[in-house]
């Protein structure tokens, strides 16, 4: 009788684990909460202006460390593509370069009748496909213009006329608009130790640089307002650019605790590289600019928690009180969902009028909307087809080339390099080595012809369990053991488990955290999938999904070592597909895994960032910052002289890797095995899928 679904369903009937599919998310969140708790303890000690000034200095340094460094400021090369005269204002369509050949499409609205220099509002946009052309944004822009403010708005990366993956035949993004593009390329940025936030923020800073070139603009009266993703950028720009006098983030400010308790991490730019681990919360983005005027705009039914917004406001108020400028901090809220409301807009108009010293009526007025054609800036409606230029991928790739060159140079001193790799990989991945044999709950045994199936729930590193099955030959004595890792957990490899146990192996098949019974929430591979956001959440706390799962593999080893029917000298491991990087790391950190086999492993992180397109199934396999110190071939090299089998190595898209790529990427692995006189222990080959287990057994039983 074959292994049944009943045997594979280890924890599904236990009420204790009814939320198993969110165990990974809760584990990451609980660690974030501890970082945030530590931050709160520090904030509670701040009483005086001097203490807050010291905190501001520290936060500015941290923000620059985790978001910067920024590139040098290069010529903006602004071009006006058209000027349209409208009733009461003039509209200029502008293109400038925030970096060389990196084009920003923008519209500058100048009210009629300006004498002298006028205050200006920078209006970063939220996550709408057509950017500021949406009526939601035009209402704000045109009302501000009616009240005498100059307004500059621009297309965010991946939106409006700046789609990075535009397909002219389809007339849309190949990846998906807006947040889809943000998270796709943002993940590549993280692997390089950078962040997508850096690109978004730099566009905003350079937009202010452009405003400084305009004679109409008063450089001392600059305000920033944006909603949703525009609220994110309002907070970032205002925190980093001292020229911003007044900030009014809308429908964004909450607190990471409430965010993680509710909707969870959002797209790439809303997550800073190791941000929470460095004690950064939403409040810091506004506290760092105290006592300059800030208006928090919120709605009570927003998916950005209103409770978090109120708590953040209360904290920030302490800073403004210490500076003796409580009147410079205000909050407006309305009973509405995630949206701009008349009440909040009028509060914002009044706030800008007061603090930017422009008298007028704060009432929201009817406006005459502009058509999308009137707001089209480039000839064809897209930078990519009208001008060309660079994309975020292009710039990040250039950064990656430098990192990869540095790795190649470091590899010249092989043994010192590999020693450094182990240390760096542990730090960057956030790996925590299990220090004891895990506790477990035994969940029953099934008898089969020649073997038993035992079910267990092992304790993980936090408040979760690792569901697993252990197939054991029914013969007495000590058995060689195999830990079998599959992207779908134990249900993805039960046929292989049965085949191996019949050959005399004890086979442990776990659901590593986020797979199998603990992974139903993460099976969607689209750009909106939870995998992106959980990866970003892990990056915020200086961890990785991979490192947590690698720890679970080592816990499985510790459990096997506690049994009296396992040969401790013969503990092996097999991994499939996107679980191969996880096994590589676990094996690098755990010498007890004496033989390793990888089926269709990803060849390198470099291949993910050096190519425009990659398969998103590899997202949970990535380590933020990895390429600053190592790549997957380096981890494989650290396994020498242990037995390492690699079958059908794939590229970043999950396709068979070309011979040239194999030769280039794996040269260090071959060098490591040659240097340890163990070339025969390294096997790299292609074979038919149905032959994987047969090939592995033939090598391991020799």
Q: pLDDT for 262-279, tens place per residue?
A: 999 999 999 999 999 999
430 and 395 in a common domain: no
Q: How many domains does the chain have?
A: 2
Q: Say if 484 falls within a structural domain.
A: yes
The answer to whether residue 639 is domain-embedded is: yes
Same domain, 609 and 463: yes
E strand spans, 214-359: 217-227, 246-250, 294-299, 329-334
The residue assigned the tokens 């730019």 is 269
Average pLDDT of the segment spanning 531-551: 96
d(CA 244, CA 221): 8
HSE toward the beta carbon, residue 230, CA cutoff 13 A: 29
Can you give the pLDDT at residue 382? Answer: 98
Q: Tell me, yes or no, whether 577 and 655 share the same domain.
A: yes
pLDDT tens, position by position, 129-155: 999 999 999 999 999 999 999 999 999
> Has residue 530 got a pLDDT over 80?
no
pLDDT mean over 217-239: 98
Question: What confidence score (pLDDT) does residue 693 get?
Answer: 84
Q: Same structural domain for residues 312 and 437?
A: no
> Taking CA 596 as the corner, what is the angle to CA 595 and CA 599, rounded to the nearest 5 degrees?
150
426 CB burial (10 A radius; 0-12, 13-18, 19+): middle
Mean pLDDT of 495-514: 95
Element (H, E) at 430: none
Q: Evaluate whether 521 touches 255 at the Cβ level (below 8 Å).
A: no
Q: Number of C-alpha atoms within 13 angstroms, CB side, residue 625?
A: 21
pLDDT per residue as tens digits for the range 467-489: 999 999 999 999 999 999 999 99
Of the residues 400, 432, 449, the one at which a domain ends: 400
Question: How far is 668 from 659, CA to CA, in rounded Å?
Answer: 15
Distances (CA, A) of 124 to 108, 203, 242, 373: 12, 10, 17, 20
Tell me: do 205 and 224 sit in the same domain.
Answer: yes
Instruction: Give me the pLDDT at residue 525, please.
Output: 41
- Cα dihedral value 399, 402, 406, 407, nearest 10: 60
Q: Are residues 221 and 76 in the same domain?
A: yes
Q: Does residue 49 form part of some domain?
A: no
Tens-place pLDDT, residues 327-362: 999 999 999 999 999 999 999 999 999 999 999 999
Distance CA 621, CA 686 (A): 22
Question: Does 491 fall in a domain?
Answer: yes
- Within-domain flag for 52: no
523 lies in a domain?
A: yes
Whether 99 has a pLDDT exceeding 60, the answer reads yes
pLDDT at 58 over 70: yes
Residue 156 sits in which domain range? 60-379+390-400
Share of the chain above pLDDT 70, in %: 98
- Report the SS3 class of residue 283: helix
Tokens standing for 657?
A: 């890797």
- Round to whole Å and give the CA distance between 23 and 515: 10
pLDDT-based confidence at residue 697 (cuts at 50, 70, 90): confident
Does the residue 40 lie in any domain? no
CATH number of the domain that 221 lies in? Answer: 3.40.50.1820
Q: Provide the percentage of residues in the chain whose pLDDT is more than 90.
A: 93
* pLDDT at residue 524 is higher than 60: no
The Cα 273–Cα 271 span in angstroms is 7
Residue 280 or 523, more confident: 280
**In terms of domains, do 164 and 65 share one?**
yes
Cα–Cα distance for residue pair 593/586, rounded to 1 Å: 9
Identify the helix (H) or strand (E) that includes residue 552: helix 545-561
> What pLDDT sits at residue 522?
53
Choosing from 370, 400, 430, the residue where a domain stops is 400
Is the residue at 504 inside a domain?
Answer: yes
């Amino acid at each position: 009788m074959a292994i049944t679904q009943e045997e594979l369903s280890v924890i599904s009937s236990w009420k204790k684990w009814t939320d198993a599919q969110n165990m990974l998310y809760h584990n990451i969140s609980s660690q974030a909460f501890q970082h945030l708790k530590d931050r709160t303890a520090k904030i509670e000690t701040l009483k005086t202006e001097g203490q807050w000034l010291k905190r501001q200095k520290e936060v500015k340094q941290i923000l620059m460390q985790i978001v910067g460094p920024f590139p040098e400021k290069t010529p903006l090369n602004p071009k006006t593509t058209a000027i349209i005269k409208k009733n009461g204002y003039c509209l200029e369509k502008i293109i400038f370069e925030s970096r060389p050949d990196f084009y920003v499409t923008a519209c500058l609205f100048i009210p009629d009748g300006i004498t002298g220099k006028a205050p200006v509002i920078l209006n970063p946009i939220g996550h709408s496909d057509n950017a500021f052309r949406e009526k939601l944004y035009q209402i704000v822009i045109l009302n501000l213009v009616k009240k005498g403010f100059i307004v500059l708005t621009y297309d965010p990366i991946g939106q409006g006329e700046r789609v990075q993956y535009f397909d002219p035949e389809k007339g849309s993004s190949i990846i998906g608009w807006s947040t889809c593009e943000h998270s796709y390329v943002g993940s590549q940025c993280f692997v390089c130790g950078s962040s997508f936030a850096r690109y978004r923020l730099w566009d905003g800073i350079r937009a202010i640089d452009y405003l400084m070139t305009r004679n109409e603009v008063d450089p001392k009266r600059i305000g920033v307002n944006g909603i949703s993703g525009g609220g994110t950028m309002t907070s970032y720009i205002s925190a980093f650019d001292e020229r911003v006098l007044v900030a009014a983030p809308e429908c964004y400010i909450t607190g990471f605790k409430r965010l993680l308790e509710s909707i969870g991490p959002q797209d790439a730019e809303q997550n800073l590289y190791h941000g929470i681990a460095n004690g950064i919360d939403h409040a810091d983005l506004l506290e760092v600019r105290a006592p300059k005027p800030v208006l928090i705009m919120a709605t009570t039914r927003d998916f950005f928690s209103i409770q978090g917004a109120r708590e953040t406001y209360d904290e920030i108020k302490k800073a403004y009180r210490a500076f003796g400028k409580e009147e410079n901090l205000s909050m407006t809220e309305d009973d509405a969902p995630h949206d701009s409301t008349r009440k909040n807009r009028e509060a914002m108009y009044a706030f800008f009028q007061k603090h930017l010293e422009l008298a007028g009526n704060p009432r929201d007025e009817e406006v005459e909307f502009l058509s999308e054609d009137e707001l089209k800036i480039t000839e064809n409606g897209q930078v990519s087809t009208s001008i060309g230029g660079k994309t975020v991928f292009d710039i990040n790739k250039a950064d990656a080339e430098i990192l990869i060159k540095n790795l190649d140079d470091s590899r010249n001193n092989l043994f010192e390099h590999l020693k450094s790799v182990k240390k760096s990989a542990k730090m960057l991945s956030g790996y925590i080595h299990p220090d004891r044999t895990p506790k477990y709950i035994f969940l029953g045994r099934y008898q089969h012809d020649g073997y038993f199936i035992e079910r267990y729930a092992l304790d993980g590193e936090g408040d979760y369990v690792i569901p697993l099955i252990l197939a054991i030959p029914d013969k007495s004595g000590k058995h060689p053991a195999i830990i079998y890792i599959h992207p779908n957990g134990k249900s993805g490899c039960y046929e292989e488990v049965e085949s191996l146990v019949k050959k005399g192996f004890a086979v442990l098949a776990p659901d590593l955290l986020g797979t199998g019974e603990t992974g139903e929430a993460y099976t969607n591979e689209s750009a909106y999938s939870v995998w992106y956001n959980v990866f970003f959440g892990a990056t915020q706390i200086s961890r990785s999904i991979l490192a947590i799962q690698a720890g679970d593999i080592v816990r499985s080893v510790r459990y096997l070592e506690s049994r009296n029917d396992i040969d401790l000298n013969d503990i092996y491991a097999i991994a499939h597909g996107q679980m191969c990087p996880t096994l590589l790391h676990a094996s690098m950190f755990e010498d007890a895994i004496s033989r390793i086999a990888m089926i269709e492993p990803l060849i390198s992180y470099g291949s993910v960032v050096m190519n425009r397109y990659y398969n998103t199934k590899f997202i949970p396999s990535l380590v933020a910052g990895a390429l600053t110190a190592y790549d997957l071939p380096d981890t494989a090299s650290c396994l020498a002289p242990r037995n390492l089998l690699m079958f059908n190595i794939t590229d970043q898209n999950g396709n068979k890797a070309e011979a040239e790529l194999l030769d280039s990427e794996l040269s260090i692995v071959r060098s490591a095995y040659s240097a340890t006189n163990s070339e025969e222990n390294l096997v790299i080959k292609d074979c038919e899928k149905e032959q994987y287990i047969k090939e592995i057994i033939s090598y391991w039983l020799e």
